[in-house]
Amino acid sequence: MNKKIFYPLIAIMTIALVGIIFVQGFWIKTTLDNKERQFSLNINQALKSVSEQIQSREMRDYLAVYQKLIDSIGSPKESQLSAVFKFVDRNENTNQTYIYSHGILEEDYNVSAKLFDQESIDSSSIIEYKGIKTTTIIDEAFDREMQNMSSIERLQRVERLSLMDKAKYASIFMDLASLKPIHRRLSNVELELLLQRELRDRDIDIPFQYRVFNGTFATKVGSDNYTNLEGLRKYKSPLFVNEKGNSEFELVIAFPERKIFLRSSLTTLILLSLLFTLAIIITFASTIFQILKQKKVSEIKSDFINNMTHEFKTPIATIKLAIDAIENVNVRNNIKKRSQYLKMIKDENDRMNNQVENVLRISQLEKKENIIKKINCNIHDIIDESFIHLKLLFKNRNASVVNDLLATKINVMGSHEDLVNVVVNILENSIKYSSDTPLINVSTYNESEHVFIKISDKGMGMSVDVKEKIFDKFYRETKGNVHNVKGHGLGLSYVKKIIDLHFGTINVTSLLGEGSIFIIKLPLNS
């Protein structure tokens, strides 16, 4: 692929992927914010409802007791002063009960509405009301009466009062009720039951902790674990609000599992979103990796083809020259020269055939079409035979080869020919990558139920990056953009395949400029 197209496509795909991740993150955050706002709205509505129910219940209790008094004493037919019961309190030190009362003074001026409007049909008089407050001490009978009344009886008695009566006494009662301690006006049981019911009606069924505060001071009304909830978001609502909208008390509630509850409804969507996003990222990364890998393989194959062409071109040219020489009249009649040229043609032909065979053998091993046939092999015989194959090469490079064959158990199950090729390939590399006179040491030894072949040299060595790639197909170490050693990059790849098929291992240690050590480990034939 053209670089001018490849890299812009990668950039566009990356930007698109980042954009998708950003949009999904924004959507998740927006959804969570909406859930948070809805949750806060529901909690505030529930707290307001609880506050109104508590205040209404307290008023009903007061009005029920007031109605009880009216029933017991009867209502005067013509009374200008109505004594209204407001509040009962007990002094535990003196064992006295106090009744705080408010008198309603009625003053009839006998002035009709017709005096101001002759056409008015309203014949009632204009009456002025004035409030008179009193305090009365009584015995415990009233308290017992209040406690003995059932809730049904209270509601029935409250309903007997007119709306005007309730409105007339409510504001006065709120002033007097504020004198009573909060824990005597509201219990934990009542408050918790009301909160549970209101929250359940709004589909909020999670644990909560609450506390009633008087300013900054915590009262006795509240759950026991509230003090352990520092750092949590708290929701507040006033209690016992007076006529002016002010309140001394505030109900505070917190939810330890609020975040879990809010995210629970979105957990599936969030997980699916993350899963699909992760799949896209992995697919994108894998695609880029495969493209880069294929690009590298394409470059290596192109280099291999170019190198193979060069390797074939030389023997083909040599064969052509030899044939042309044989056709020469002087050479044709010279049997000795003709034999030399024929041998040259044969050698070059064998050279090309060996190269083709190496390529085909690697291809067959890749496709597992060539299953090697194993027999009982002697490792030392394999090493000796490999030396015979390389005798001429050793001589041409003046190589110094030292044998240190100390293994006593040397029989393995394997392919004799392929194992010889393994040793030959490694020794050839040791010679090729030695800039000076090659110094090679070949040794064998036993460990456990294995035989080891160690081949070391004092050649150019390898860098860490090169060492990690030498067993890759077509890979050859280069210097800049020039291959300074002939070959196809198939030798060590072939070696690795053969060793794997023999259930062995091959490792290499190397330092740049100091040489390399190859160690082959093969299981013994039991």
Res 368: pLDDT: 55
Which range, of 88-97, 109-118, 246-255, 279-288, averages the lowest pLDDT? 109-118
The confidence band for 193, taking pLDDT boundaries of 50, 70 and 90, is very high
Res 172: pLDDT: 64
- Contact (CB, 8 A) for 444 and 406: yes
Residue 181 backbone phi and psi in degrees, to 5: -60, 150
Between CA 472 and CA 347, with CA 353 as vertex, the angle to 5 degrees is 125
Reply yes or no on whether the pLDDT at 246 is more than 70: yes
Calculated CA dihedral for residues 450, 455, 456, 459, nearest 10 degrees: -150
Res 380: pLDDT: 94
Reply yes or no on whether the pLDDT at 518 is more than 50: yes
Spell out the residues 6+ positions from residue 501 whose beta carbon is closer than 8 angstroms to its own.
365, 372, 418
Res 136: pLDDT: 61
Q: In angstroms, what CA-CA distances link 38 with 31, 32, 42, 44, 239?
A: 11, 10, 6, 10, 23
CA contacts within 13 A on the Cβ side of 243: 11
Residue 101 backbone phi and psi in degrees, to 5: -120, 160
Residue range 306-327: average pLDDT? 75
Residue range 292-313: average pLDDT? 71
CA contacts within 13 A on the Cβ side of 45: 14
The confidence band for 197, taking pLDDT boundaries of 50, 70 and 90, is very high
Range 330-333 contact pairs with CB under 8 angstroms and sequence separation of 24 or more: none
Residue range 492-521: average pLDDT? 88
Q: In angstroms, what CA-CA distances link 20 with 6, 11, 29, 252, 289?
A: 21, 14, 14, 41, 21
Which range, of 173-177, 232-236, 260-264, 325-329, averages the lowest pLDDT? 173-177
Reply yes or no on whether the pLDDT at 370 is more than 60: no
DSSP labels, 50-96? HHHHHHHHHHHHHHHHHHHHHHHH---SS-SEEEEEEEEEEETTTTE
Reply yes or no on whether the pLDDT at 242 is more than 80: no
Mean pLDDT rounded to a whole number for the chain = 76
CA contacts within 13 A on the Cβ side of 347: 9
- Contact (CB, 8 A) for 422 and 383: no
Is the domain spanning 372-523 CATH 3.30.565.10? The answer is: yes
Res 383: pLDDT: 93
Q: How far is residue 419's CA from residue 422's CA, in Å, rounded to a whole number?
A: 5
Class of domain 291-364: mainly alpha
Which pTM does this prediction carry?
A: 0.44
Reply yes or no on whether the pLDDT at 153 is more than 60: no
Res 358: pLDDT: 66
Calculated CA dihedral for residues 316, 322, 325, 326, nearest 10 degrees: -120
In terms of Cβ atoms closer than 10 Å to its own Cβ (0-12, 13-18, 19+), residue 108 is exposed
Which range, of 78-92, 113-127, 290-304, 318-332, averages the lowest pLDDT? 113-127
Residue range 446-468: average pLDDT? 88
Spell out the residues 6+ positions from residue 377 whose beta carbon is closer than 8 angstroms to its own.
411, 412, 413, 414, 415, 416, 419
Reply yes or no on whether the pLDDT at 65 is more than 60: yes
Residue range 16-27: average pLDDT? 85
The confidence band for 304, taking pLDDT boundaries of 50, 70 and 90, is low
The confidence band for 123, taking pLDDT boundaries of 50, 70 and 90, is low
CA contacts within 13 A on the Cβ side of 66: 26
Residue range 152-161: average pLDDT? 41
At 267-296, the pLDDT tens digits run 887 888 888 888 888 888 888 888 887 877
The confidence band for 479, taking pLDDT boundaries of 50, 70 and 90, is very low
Which range, of 133-147, 220-234, 449-463, 486-500, averages the lowest pLDDT? 133-147
Which range, of 167-171, 432-436, 477-481, averages the lowest pLDDT? 477-481
Tell me the two tokens of residue 72. 């017991």
Q: How far is residue 450's CA from residue 522's CA, in Å, rounded to a whole number?
A: 6
Residue ranges, comma separated, of all CATH 3.30.565.10 domains in the chain are: 372-523
Residue ranges, comma separated, of all CATH 1.10.287.130 domains in the chain are: 291-364
Q: How far is residue 102's CA from residue 81's CA, in Å, rounded to a whole number?
A: 10
Q: In angstroms, what CA-CA distances link 47 with 199, 254, 277?
A: 9, 12, 41
Reply yes or no on whether the pLDDT at 28 is more than 60: yes
Share of the chain above pLDDT 70, in %: 69
Residue range 40-49: average pLDDT? 92
The confidence band for 77, taking pLDDT boundaries of 50, 70 and 90, is very low
Which range, of 180-184, 307-311, 384-388, 454-458, averages the lowest pLDDT? 307-311
Res 451: pLDDT: 94
Q: How far is residue 523's CA from residue 453's CA, in Å, rounded to a whole number?
A: 12
Res 75: pLDDT: 45
Q: Pick 459 or 158 by higher pLDDT.
A: 459
> Maximum CA pair distance of the chain?
166
Res 483: pLDDT: 39
DSSP labels, 307-347? HHHHHHHHHHHHHHHHHHHHHSHHHHT-HHHHHHHHHHHHH
φ/ψ region of 93 (left if φ > 0, alpha if ψ in -120 to 50, else beta) reads alpha
φ/ψ region of 515 (left if φ > 0, alpha if ψ in -120 to 50, else beta) reads left
- 209, containing H or E segment: strand 209-214
Which range, of 52-61, 220-229, 460-469, averages the lowest pLDDT? 220-229
DSSP labels, 129-188? EEEEEEEEEE-THHHHHHHH--HHHHHHHHHTS-HHHHHHHHHHHHHHHTTS-HHHH--H
- Contact (CB, 8 A) for 425 and 492: yes
Q: Pick 143 or 436 by higher pLDDT.
A: 436
Tell me the two tokens of residue 348. 């070059």
Which range, of 303-307, 312-316, 330-334, 394-398, averages the lowest pLDDT? 303-307
| Of 516, 377, 519, 389, nearest in space to 443 by CA | 519
Q: How far is residue 17's CA from residue 295's CA, in Å, rounded to a whole number?
A: 23
- 495, containing H or E segment: helix 491-501
Straight-line distance from the first to the last Cα atom of the chain, in angstroms, rounded to the nearest whole number: 53
